[in-house]
Amino acid sequence: MEDLKNSLVPTSEPESLSELRIGGEILFRGKVLDLALDTVVLPNGREATREVVLHRGAVAVLPIFPNGEVLVEEQFRYPHGRILLEIPAGKLDSADEDPLAAAHRELAEETGYRAERMLCLGEYIPSPAILGERIHLYLATGLTEGERSLDEDEFLTVRRIPLSDLVDAVLRGEIPDGKTQIAALRAHLMLERHTLDLL
């Protein structure tokens, strides 16, 4: 392990962990997700089934102002029956849409703001065992205000709050949404380490 101290690339032999698909079917094709029931061969040669939710992917954006304030949204989330505080986010229009273009689009539609710069924070896999969704995370800077253009059936309110308040709330365990926790903590640490410039 000594040689790998700073590398977190997986070091396991792939054949010791990998599962190979040998069959399956799509049980449901929806507007937002598909459901597949697949049969796989495990590393020990036995067969198993995998219930897999397929999703075309999404983007999420933390818009941050030079004074350290950020934009967040309040939105009702039906699977949880409650209003959550989240950063702006949305599905890709198609599986091959450029995530950067989607980030600019979703930010403008949901908040009205346009960003001069989108800094990619890499990907976020929300629930790797069951859900194929990958979310591309961005920090948006150089913000200018414009018009919102919500879908007719989209309801959310936008708030502007200090990043430090958001980080404190995350550390108190008060912000359940995963992408919001990650974006807030990463932006905070990047500012602390001077690897993020807000101007």
Distance between CA atoms of residues 107 and 115, nearest Å: 8
Contact between residue 48 and residue 42 where contact means Cβ atoms under 8 Å apart: yes
Q: Maximum CA pair distance of the chain?
A: 58
Minimum distance, C-beta of residue 195 to a second copy, in the bound complex (Å): 8
By beta-carbon proximity to a second copy, the closer residue of 127 and 149 is: 127
By beta-carbon proximity to a second copy, the closer residue of 139 and 143 is: 139
Which residue among the candidates 69, 152, 154, 192 is catalytic per the annotation? 152
Using CB under 8 A, which residues numbered 134 to 153 contact a second copy? 134, 152-153
Contact between residue 64 and residue 163 where contact means Cβ atoms under 8 Å apart: yes
Minimum distance, C-beta of residue 140 to a second copy, in the bound complex (Å): 16
Single-letter code of the amino acid located at 169: A
Residues paired with 75 in a beta bridge: 84
Using CB under 8 A, which residues numbered 31 to 70 contact a second copy? 31-33, 35, 37-38, 40, 42-44, 46, 48-55
Minimum distance, C-beta of residue 113 to a second copy, in the bound complex (Å): 17
Q: Is 117 in the site for a second copy (CB under 8 A)?
A: no
Tokens of 134: 């990958």
Single-letter code of the amino acid located at 139: L
Task: Give the range of 98-106, 107-115, 116-124, 139-147 binding a second copy by CB under 8 A.
Answer: 116-124
Angle of the 163-171 helix axis to the 178-192 helix axis, nearest 10: 120
Minimum distance, C-beta of residue 101 to a second copy, in the bound complex (Å): 19
Minimum distance, C-beta of residue 177 to a second copy, in the bound complex (Å): 5
Is 152 among the residues known to form the active site? yes
Task: Give the range of 92-100, 104-112, 138-146, 163-171 binding a second copy by CB under 8 A.
Answer: 163-171
Residues paired with 60 in a beta bridge: 89, 137
DSSP structural state of residue 64: B
Q: Is 28 in the site for a second copy (CB under 8 A)?
A: yes
Task: Give the range of 99-107, 108-116, 128-136, 140-148 binding a second copy by CB under 8 A.
Answer: 128-136
Distance between CA atoms of residues 135 and 195, nearest Å: 22
Residue holding tokens 């890709």? 92
List the catalytic residues. 152
